[in-house]
Amino acid sequence: MLLPKSDDALDSILGIQDDDQLTGYIYILQSLSNNPDISAISNLYKIGYATTSVEKRIANAANEPTYLMAPVHHVSSYKCINMNAQKFESLLHTFFGKACLDIEVAGVDGKMCRP
C-alpha cells in the first residue's frame, strides 16, 4: 500500500515520500478491564501490530482474549514505513519480555487463553 499524499509537516521532516510504503502500525493500549486482577496492575500496556487502522483492529477488543476480554484505551500508535512492522513488534515484545503479563483469560467460547 502506498502512502496517500500528505501535507503533514512531520512527514516532510522525516523525509517520507509519496512512494514510501506504509507497512503497518505499532500501537500501545491500556486495558479498561473491570477484573480486579487486571485493573490492579499499574502501568499495564499492550503493544501490538496491525495492518489495518488501529481503530478497526481494536473494535472488538471486549470480545478478544488478546485484549483481556475488555475495552481498551488507545494510548498511541505509530506508522511503520518501509520496514517489516511485524518483526518490529516481535523485537519490542522481546525487549519487554521480562515484564510480560502471565495470565489466563476465558474467551467468548469459554476456552482459556494466555494472551
The string of pLDDT tens digits covering residues 19-40 is 899 999 999 999 999 999 899 9
Predicted confidence (pLDDT) at residue 1 exceeds the cutoff of 90 = no
C-alpha cell at 101: 503479563
Does position 18 have pLDDT exceeding 50, yes or no?
yes
What number is the average pLDDT over the span 96-115? 87
| pLDDT > 90 fraction of the chain, expressed in percent and rounded | 64
Give the pLDDT confidence of 45-58 residue by residue, as tens digits. 999 999 999 999 99
Under a CB-based contact definition with an 8 Å cutoff, are residues 105 and 112 in contact?
yes
CA distances from 72 to 29, 31, 45, 97, 105 (A): 6, 5, 10, 21, 15
* Helix H or strand E encompassing 89: helix 85-95
| The pLDDT value given to residue 7 | 53
